[in-house]
Amino acid sequence: MITADDLIALVRAYNPKTNAERIAAAYEFGREMHEGQFRHSGEPYFSHPVAVAAILTEQRLDDAAIITALLHDTIEDTKASYSEVTKRFGDEVAMLVDGVTKLTNLQLSSHETKQAENFRKLFMAMSKDLRVILVKLADRLHNMRTIKAMRPDKQAQKARETMDIYAPLAGRMGMQWMREELEDLSFRVLNPEGRQSIIRRFITLQKESGDIIHRITSDMRAELAKSGIEAEVFGRAKKPYSIWRKMQEKDQGFSRLSDIYGFRIITDTEEDCYRTLGAIHRRWRAVPGRFKDYISQPKSNGYRSIHTTVSGRDGKRVEVQIRTRQMHDVAETGVAAHWSYRDGVRSENPFAVDPAKWIASLNEQFEGEDDHDEFLEAVKLEMYSDQVFCFTPKGDVVKLPRGATPIDFAYAIHTRIGSAIVGAKVDGLRVPLWTRLKNGQSVDIITAEGQTPQASWLEIATTGKAKTAIRRSLREVDRERFIKLGQELARAAFEHVGRKATDKALDTAAKHLRLDNRDVLLARLGSAEITGHDVVQAVYPELAPDEGDQISPRRAVIGLQAGQSFERAPCCQPLPGERIVGITFRGKGVVVHAIDCDRLGEYEDQPDRWVDLHWHAGTHPPIYSATLDLTIGNDAGVLGRICTLIGEKKANISNLNFVDRKPDFYRLLIDVELRDIEQLHSLMLALEAESDVAALERHRDMAPPRAVAE
């Protein structure tokens, strides 16, 4: 563990005006608060906050960020309070420490819906002060560097969370070095055999061809000297995970992969960048389609550089990045460059992006997305995006993620244009809407009155903005259908108690249920978000059927013909409250599937066999089975506690099957009998809250079915 003096020396190296006394006081306060606490490795716990602070010094951050790193776990894990931190170190530090504490409490790898909501909170924290995220990223980086001390299941959980969330977030903020290290540390945990395989092949390649990096670097320096250009040249082999990802994306083996080496040239001026590009292209053959000019078209996080790929020695492809020193500083620290110091003053880097404007533009992309899962998808799409630059017919530049289509281009210009698109011309030629756009292309969108977004566009679009707008439009269409269905369900529910579903009654129900109006109520009823029982009870609580009046299994499904029988599909095990559809079978009646069941794809070309169904509103008996896939710790009494918890949730265990047994965990499938989908959600939330539950999901058997005659 480095000492307070060592840490202060690291800060003084880039900020001689640092308040050494304040940092020393924070160091001492943090050490005192964490006294007696130890990490999984057996080291004193305070070694972790100190290491996080040291990581932030590499980004030349201000004193407030360094002090926050030293104290980032004090409010949560020690007796220190927010008011005490405020009193000792001021409002700014206290606010930052509190922000990191709240982020730590967000379980970002939990259930998808909860994860999406936590992403919203994460963006809110970023919008208040981006340094909160910088401290959290450094915290995660050190935890990943020391992850071997954790239990294997916890290692896998943290690595997956890092790969899915923190690594792309670091990349989105412009800290590519951190993204690459986080990805590789996660790769080491999630696929150690794959990583070792890449490393072994690198060693073999080096034995066969010698030090390629040194030779190419020397060649580049000689070529630049010949052109009278002063520049630094660095070369490196790409990280194992980066190579693995390229192998997966291109479906190629290691031996066929070419650009596994990267070179960086740092010049004095922007003019020298373009002179360097000319010198490199004169000496080596440029690879078509692999040139990007992020100097003339910077990324939104401030990144500027020229990228080109050339065929080097022996036909080996190498990637070359060319940038100035100031551009390099931003490329290394990304949005964090806004807080960087050099020689005791804030860096006046003209390329550093304003964090407030950056986060505002990021938040704007996700406004209006109501659905949690869709919000999460949009976030991840934007996180992982790399950019291409296309032009409107007037010459305006439109930035899009790699793989974007004319639909994305149209929505990037305006939602109205996107919704009305019927075709597109790329460089003057008519192309299909699913065409992937490339850098520098000119795109002309063709629109038509009366056109509306199609469901198939969701498979074509790649940007969060386009997908959000398409879904919003489709929801409006669905809303009309749900309102009509809701009217029928309301009529049936009110007739059941001898009343009529008048407009006044429905208005009253909407008011009691705190919904905006009658149409919202009917749409919720039609989409099974509320039940007919809920609506009737809101108006006539004395007449609403008692929850004990359970619906007979024979009339649980509405939409069948007279005398037609049904059975639940064993593949997806639909529960009351879920959206369902029926498939007719000769001699078997109707088999009921959940609307999102993969098996339904087998019947797409047989529309005459589909039956529109929905569950009867009301209380169903607890006879509908569902299967849970559960991984629990292998400790005394754990299984008993899990079974007791399931019983407390009024669910009956009908079968229990051990799938995998390891020294430290069990994986098992549990069949439980439930009333409806709400009871399943309640049960899963209770199980997820248990500390001994390592993983939980609803199990659906999607194995190929045996042949069944129609």
Q: What are the residue numbers of the active site?
A: 76-77
Q: How far apart are CA 425 and CA 120, in angstroms?
A: 37
Contact 505, 494 (CB under 8 A): yes
Q: What CA–CA distances, in Å, run from 266 to 176, 217, 260, 274, 508?
A: 17, 13, 20, 12, 70
Q: How far apart are CA 486 and CA 527, in angstroms?
A: 8
679 phi/psi in degrees, rounded to 5: -65, -35
- CA dihedral (119, 122, 128, 133) positive or negative: negative
672 phi/psi in degrees, rounded to 5: -120, 150
Contact 158, 143 (CB under 8 A): yes
Residues 6+ apart with CB under 8 A from 637: none
Strand partners, 627: 671, 699
**Helix residue ranges, H only, 557-660:** 638-648
Contact 672, 611 (CB under 8 A): no
Q: How far apart are CA 114 and CA 108, in angstroms?
A: 8
Residue 250, H or E segment? helix 240-250
- CA dihedral (462, 466, 471, 477) positive or negative: negative
Q: How far apart are CA 684 and CA 326, in angstroms?
A: 51
SS (H, E, C) 388-437: EEEECCCCCEEEEECCCCHHHHHHHHCHHHHHCEEEEEECCEEECCCCCC
The angle formed by the CA atoms of residues 542, 547 and 549, to the nearest 5 degrees, is 95
Contact 332, 282 (CB under 8 A): no
For 514-563, give the DSSP string.
T-SSHHHHHHHHHTTSS-HHHHHHHH-TTTSPPTTSBPPGGGSEESPPTT
Position 359, amino acid: I
Contact 497, 508 (CB under 8 A): no
Position 416, amino acid: R
Q: How far apart are CA 482 and CA 128, in angstroms?
A: 39
Coil, helix or strand for 578?
coil
Tokens for 645? 């918890």
Q: How far apart are CA 328 and CA 311, in angstroms?
A: 24
Q: What totals of helices (H) and strands (E) does the chain contain, helices first? A: 27, 22
Contact 23, 66 (CB under 8 A): yes
179 phi/psi in degrees, rounded to 5: -60, -45
Query: Any idea how long the chain is?
Result: 710
Residues 6+ apart with CB under 8 A from 60: 14, 15, 333, 340, 341, 342, 347
Q: How far apart are CA 623 and CA 613, in angstroms?
A: 19
